[in-house]
Amino acid sequence: MTQNEIYISVDVEASGPIPGEYSMLSLGACVVYDQTQTFYIEFKPISDKYIMESLVVSGLYMTQLKETGVDPTIGMTQFEEWINAVSQKDRPIFTAFNATFDWMFTAYYFHRFLGRNPFGISGLDIKAYYMGRFHTKWEQTTKRKIDPSFLSGRKHPHHALDDALEQAELFRKVLETSSK
């Protein structure tokens, strides 16, 4: 018997380009085919390193998050519980627009703070899926260059939940469209 899959759109905002050295500041997620099922959290930083541009873009600041952010062990436990609740018996599939960035932070935090990752060892990259589905070049997978009919019309405010919702809508439209 094969297991059903559930696509979960994930977006993160971070204080820099790599996990461990820099911190994941926030994480947003939603179920691709039920965008009322959402998760959002802001984390206490795990290091003091940051790139100012990363903070400005997200509007999240280290000093504030040291006070208001959730401890990463608690936050990742809550995220895992949410994934299990929305997945039930289905296999959760990590999905992101440029998954390499979001995946590395999410996987790092799951393994560092929980010793496991409910997504397993793989993630689905929406950009790569689009490229293969529509036989484009990689350079044609930026939001400025993909077919505008796939775009949600939402702003991209670099807020992890808003961005997860935006990319979920894009991915759902790609999945529901036959190859051109």
Query: What is the four-CA torsion angle of 14, 171, 130, 120, rounded to 10 degrees?
Result: 60
Whether residue 156 lies in the annotated active site: no
CA torsion sign for 152, 167, 49, 63 is: positive
Provide the token pair at 10.
Answer: 């994930």
Helices vs. strands in the chain: H and E counts, helices first: 6, 5
Q: At what angle do helices 99-114 and 72-87 cross, to 10 degrees?
A: 110
Per annotation, catalytic residue among 135, 156, 158, 159: 158
Half-sphere exposure at residue 30, Cβ-oriented, CA atoms within 13 angstroms: 20
Count of C-beta atoms within a 10 Å radius of residue 67 = 7
Q: Which residues are catalytic?
A: 158
